[in-house]
Amino acid sequence: MRSMNANPTRELTRLAPALLVAVSAALLLGALGFQYLGGLKPCALCIWQRYPHGAVLVLGALALGHALAGKPKAVPWLTMLAAVAMIVGAGIAAFHVGVEQGWWKGLEACAAGSRPPGTLEGAFEALKKGPAASCSDIPWQLFGISMAGYNFLISAAVGIFGLAATRAMVRRAA
C-alpha cells in the first residue's frame, strides 16, 4: 500500500529517467557483449544504433541527478530529450530490420567489406580487421527476431514511456 506521504510526481521524476538509463545501459552492454564475448562483428547500422543509447545515458543521468538533488524543473525536459534519443535509436533499429528483411536497400556503408579508411594507416587497420559485417546479415536471432528487432521493440516501448512520463510530469507541475 502506498504511503500517505508518497508524491507520485516525485516518484515519476525518478523512475522515468532511471528506467531510460537502465534500459539503454542494458541494451548497450548486450551489444558489446555479443561483439566482444560472442565474437559477432557489428555492421555499420549496429554501430549507429549505439550512439542514441549513449545520448540517453547522459541525458537520463542528468535528469536523474536533478531529480535526486531536488531540482525538478529540468527533469521533464531532460527526460523528454532522453526519450526522443531512445526513439531515434528505435528508428535506426527499424531501418536496420528493414534492411535485414530485404524490405529496402541499406546504405552504402552497409555493404560487407565497406570500411572507408580515410588515411593509409586506416586502410591498413581495416585490412587487419577483415571485412565489416553486412547490414543485411542476421548473425543472431531469438524467436525469429534479430538483435536489431529487439532493440527496436524495447527502445520504442521505453521511449514512448519516457514521453508519456514527461507529459505527466509537465501536467502535474502545471
pLDDT value at 55 more than 90: yes
DSSP 40-76: PPP-HHHHHHHHHHHHHHHHHHHHHHHHHTT-GGGHH
Residue type for position 100: E
Q: What is the mean pLDDT of residues 73-77?
A: 90
Tell which phi-psi region holds residue 144, choosing left (phi > 0), alpha (psi between -120 and 50) or beta.
Answer: left
Q: In the prediction, which pLDDT does 73 show?
A: 87
Contact 93, 148 (CB under 8 A): yes
Q: Domain containing 39: what range?
A: 9-173
Percent of the chain residues topping a pLDDT of 70: 81
Q: In the prediction, which pLDDT does 1 show?
A: 45
pLDDT in tens, 19-47: 999 999 999 999 999 999 998 889 989 99
**DSSP 8-state code for residue 142:** E
Q: In the prediction, which pLDDT does 4 show?
A: 46
Would you state the torsion angle of the CA atoms of residues 54, 143, 159, 104, taken in this order, to the nearest 10 degrees?
80
- Is 42 inside any structural domain? yes
Residue 104 sits in a domain whose CATH number is: 1.20.1550.10
Domains in the chain, number: 1
Q: What is the mean pLDDT of residues 66-92?
A: 93
Q: Full-prediction pTM beyond 0.85?
A: no
- Is 165 inside any structural domain? yes
